[in-house]
Amino acid sequence: MRDNRVSRRQALTLGAGTLAALAGCTGSDDSGSTETAAETETATEETATEEEMESYTVSMAPVGDVEFDSVPETWLSYFPGYADMGVALGHGEGLEAVGNVPRYHTDAYDELEGVSVNKDDLTQLIGDGGIDKELYYELGVDVHLTDPKWLTNNSFFGLGEDDVEEIESNVSPFIGNTIFRRTDTWHDYRYYSLYGAFEKVAEIFQEQERYEALKSFHDDYVAEVQSQLPSADQRPNALLTFGAGDQPDEFAPYRLTDKGTNKKQWHDLGISDALAGTGIEGLSTTERGYIDFETMLEVDPDVILMRGQETKTREEFQDTVVSYMKDHNVASDLTAVKNDRVFRGGPIYQGPIQHLFNLERAAKQLFPDTFEGELFDRDRVAEIVVDGE
């Protein structure tokens, strides 16, 4: 269990009298001791008042209002998309842990001068047996950017509502919303868009100016890309699916019509869902359905977007998965395979920085005659993240 040390968060809530008494224990016995003690108490009262004035509240479904005595210095998130939000707001140094470290794709930071996260320093929350509650005590962060309903509604994690309440009481609050998909039956409360959730995280870190600068950059960038797209009837449909390994034969389909943030780049490009009207559910939930190449051929999409392949480069993906499909007796008949329109489907989780790169990659993949090179200013993004201006 947790030791008896006073956390930074608890220290900020100590009364002025308590702090003054602690200060008095080290005071001298000379004639000025009374005056010094009085001055110390007055100064402490002023400091405490300043801290109280700096407290603020952030409201976000499903937890509601969360009060902060000061800006969090250390934090964690189960979702890598929220980790990316914190980094985008200039608070990457305080990130202590994510749910699944390999699913936190940080390669985008390599193109932004001064922006980095050392994944080797991050703790992974999930293990073979779920999530060990004691990890939250060991990490002792100032805030958990995680939807608690995500933890308590996935039985594999092994955490119940009582566990979450205990951690909130003894460590720090949870705040966050499961936004990467919108297909879970238990998620009966408000959803947020990528930038809707990002705005809440900006309030938590009191980085509203950085948020506004990045949102303005994002809005202009998306508008510019969309202004160059062909008409809707000239855009391809796509099958977004999950297929692991170098020679996948079983696939878990997604629905592009789902408004989850993991599909934002495809929504920005106005790509239609190849599964529409087919009767194939293709839901991303805790209970997954699967299809094979035969079913895929019945749909015969213009483009196939395959997830579970983000650790591969484009060339590695072509040399393994695409090469296997070209030689397969069924997959080789797919229109997308014949036309070299099989691509990596992007990460399952994404935040604002990652999305800028994912949109660029998607636009160049699907519309190579229209988009090439760098589609947005890396230096400007780095300037906002690093300098906050």
Q: Where do the domains of the chain lie?
A: 8-53, 57-216, 229-370
In a 3-state reduction of DSSP, which class is residue 281? coil
Structure-token pair, residue 299: 């749909």
- Name the percent of the chain lying above pLDDT 70: 84
Is 35 within 8 Å of 92 (Cβ atoms)?
no
How much is the average pLDDT of 78-88?
A: 98
CA 333 – CA 335 distance, rounded (Å): 6
Give how far Cα 100 sits from Cα of 59, 127, 137, 226, 321, Å. Answer: 26, 9, 18, 33, 24
Q: Does 31 score more than 50 pLDDT?
A: no
- Give the largest CA-CA distance in the chain: 96
- 57-216 has which fold? Rossmann fold (3.40.50)
Q: Does 146 score more than 90 pLDDT?
A: yes
The residues near 92 (Cβ < 8 Å, ≥ 6 apart) are 86, 115, 116, 117
The residue whose two tokens read 């100064």 is 43
CA 198 – CA 260 distance, rounded (Å): 14
CA 135 – CA 232 distance, rounded (Å): 49
**What is the pLDDT at residue 39?**
53
The residues near 118 (Cβ < 8 Å, ≥ 6 apart) are none
Whether the domain at 57-216 and the domain at 229-370 fall into the same CATH topology: yes
Q: Does 237 score more than 70 pLDDT?
A: yes
Structure-token pair, residue 183: 């297909």
Helical residues (DSSP H) of 142-207, grouped into ranges: 148-152, 161-170, 194-204
CA 57 – CA 45 distance, rounded (Å): 22
Who has greater pLDDT, 114 or 31? 114
Nearest 5 degrees, angle CA 350-CA 73-CA 215? 40
Per-residue pLDDT tens over the stretch 177-232:
999 999 899 999 999 999 999 999 999 999 999 999 999 999 999 999 999 999 99
Q: Does 281 score more than 80 pLDDT?
A: no
Query: Burial code of 99-127, b = ≥16 C-beta within 10 A, e = fewer?
Result: bebebbbbebbeebeebebeeeebebbbe
The residue whose two tokens read 């990316």 is 84
**What is the pLDDT at residue 16?**
35
Query: Burial code of 37-46, b = ≥16 C-beta within 10 A, e = fewer?
Result: eeebbeebee
CA 257 – CA 276 distance, rounded (Å): 8
Is 270 within 8 Å of 235 (Cβ atoms)?
yes
CA 228 – CA 375 distance, rounded (Å): 12
**What is the pLDDT at residue 277?**
85
Q: Give the DSSP letter string of 170-181.
A: HT--B-----S-
**What is the pLDDT at residue 288?**
61
Is 181 within 8 Å of 114 (Cβ atoms)?
no
Q: How confident is the model at residue 43 (pLDDT cuts 50, 70, 90)?
A: low
In a 3-state reduction of DSSP, which class is residue 166? helix
Nearest by Cα to 255 from 225, 278, 234: 278
- What CATH number was assigned to the domain covering residues 229-370? 3.40.50.1980
**What is the pLDDT at residue 191?**
98
Structure-token pair, residue 343: 């691509």
Q: Mean pLDDT in the chain?
A: 88
Q: Give the DSSP letter string of 48-79.
A: HHHHHHH-EEEEETTTEEEEESS--SSEEESS
Q: Does 285 score more than 80 pLDDT?
A: no
Is 122 within 8 Å of 100 (Cβ atoms)?
no
Is 105 within 8 Å of 223 (Cβ atoms)?
no
